[in-house]
Amino acid sequence: MNFAENSVEQLVDQGVALGKQDRLAEAEALFRQATALDPNHPRAHTNLAVALQAMGRFDEALPIIRRSIALRGDDANAHHTLAKILVKTNRATEAIEALRRSLQLNPDDTEAHGTLAKTLLLAGDFKRGWAEYEWRWKAPSFKEPKRLFNKPQWTGGKLTDKTILLHHEQGFGDTIQFLRYVPLVARERGGDVIVQVPRELVDLVRRMPTAPDVVALGDPLPPFDLHIPVMSLPLAFNTTLKTIPANVPYLSASPKVAHVWADRIKSDGGDEGTLRVGLAWAGRPTHRDDKQRSLRLEQLAPLASPAPDVVFYSLQKWDPQREAARQPAGMKLIDAAEKLFDFSDSAAVIANLDLVIAVDTAIAHLAGAMGKPVWTMLPFAPDFRWMLDRPDSPWYPTMRLYRQPACDDWNSVLRQIAEDLSAHAASKRSRKAL
């Protein structure tokens, strides 16, 4: 290796180290220096594309990763990087083809299998997608620890005279979405069901129609014969788009707590013609893609002026900046979240509202599981469960999806919601006048 080649390798190595520290602009500069020194260096191009992707500059990253593949077509990592960039530009079919090539070159790449799983599900190919999704447990980037029980994992067979443990996985929203399978396990497979969830979900799950035995995470478990994480349930039931168990509601509020909130809401003003709307504008900050899915409250200002007959209720639990106390001008926003201690309380508020507007977070799942009208705001490249293009969700019949038409374009989303909200408020007022 001559001095120039050595310099390129050193620049790339330094850039990789900076990228691991999230110093992406500095890493980009080094990778560009490397590609300038050697325009035919595939590793420099691949890492430059990775840095640009991490900064959300997908259109810039795409020709660079294609250049890397043209220079070295047998690099599995480059094909995987291409696929991840294509996913972020909603080109799922092309991404699946890139992943197919990546896995031909490196069949045991757990990260590529994980990307393939989510891309297949995004494209609506549930048959292959749910099977591939089981690779998640082997991928280093998947931070959820695999629960190790001295019992086999259930794969969908009969459960006669058996007790099965369904246990929480990943976020609150994930578990809420897949709790829909609890009645099916009991009714169709004949098992006695134990559900283990975070303490914040316990009271909510106890009111499910099948009345499962519910245990909080960390508490002692009763004996069981088999177990399954909740996000493996679609595979166990061979779920397709046509067979999604979408009967809602499958979660409900405590009538007693809902009655308390009904009295509180009446005291907030307005009359029977007032539209009462719950808001959740941000998810948990530690979520991997939180920057793409979350907003600031000030960005919701367009919802205030077109809807004078609307009272908003903040359902926002993760509000470290106390945004709810600084509501946009013209918006009547009541901070209900101050009195919400678990999801049972959130359900009681939602039960008394006309509509929930939320980003892709647990509140959207809760409203959908309760059969409440919910408008969910999605980033341009959505999570796999929302699929592509469609304005509705096969998982939640009462949900309407509002998608960014371009990356980071929340303004278009909010303009459309403001227009629809104004019409919704006027409709309720006119019905009240009849």
> Residue 64 domain-assigned?
yes
For 375-411, how does the pLDDT look when each residue is reduced to its tens digit (9 = 90+)? 999 999 999 999 999 999 999 999 999 999 999 999 9
pLDDT of residue 161: 87
Q: Tell me which residue range forms the domain holding 210.
A: 163-243
* Res 1: pLDDT: 42
Residues 7 and 56 in one domain: yes
Q: Which residues of the chain have pLDDT under 50?
A: 1-3
State the pLDDT at residue 287: 74
d(CA 41, CA 6): 12
- Do residue 168 and residue 123 come from a single domain? no
Residues 201 and 225 in one domain: yes
Same domain, 234 and 265: no
Q: How far is it between the farthest Cα atoms of the chain?
A: 85
Q: Which of 121, 138, 155 marks a domain boundary?
A: 138
Examine the fold and report which residue of 243, 268, 287 is the final residue of a domain before the chain moves on. 243
Are residue 276 and residue 424 in the same domain, yes or no?
Answer: yes
306 assigned to some structural domain: yes
Name the residue with tokens 């609150």.
172
Tell whether 22 and 106 lie within a shared domain. yes
Is the Cβ–Cβ distance between 233 and 181 less than 8 Å? yes
What's the pLDDT score for residue 306?
60
Distance CA 161, CA 178 (A): 24
Number of domains into which the chain is organized: 3
Same domain, 423 and 284: yes
CA dihedral of residues 180, 110, 381, 324 (deg, nearest 10): 60
196 has which bridge partners?
167, 215
* 384 and 308 belong to one structural domain: yes
CATH code, domain carrying 23: 1.25.40.10
In the listed set 202, 223, 243, which residue is the last one of a domain according to the structure?
243
Q: Are residues 117 and 59 in the same domain?
A: yes
CATH number at residue 304: 3.40.50.2000
Residue 148 pLDDT: 86
Query: What does the pLDDT read at residue 201?
Result: 97
Query: Could you tell me if 94 and 221 lie in one domain?
Result: no
- For residue 74, is it within any domain? yes
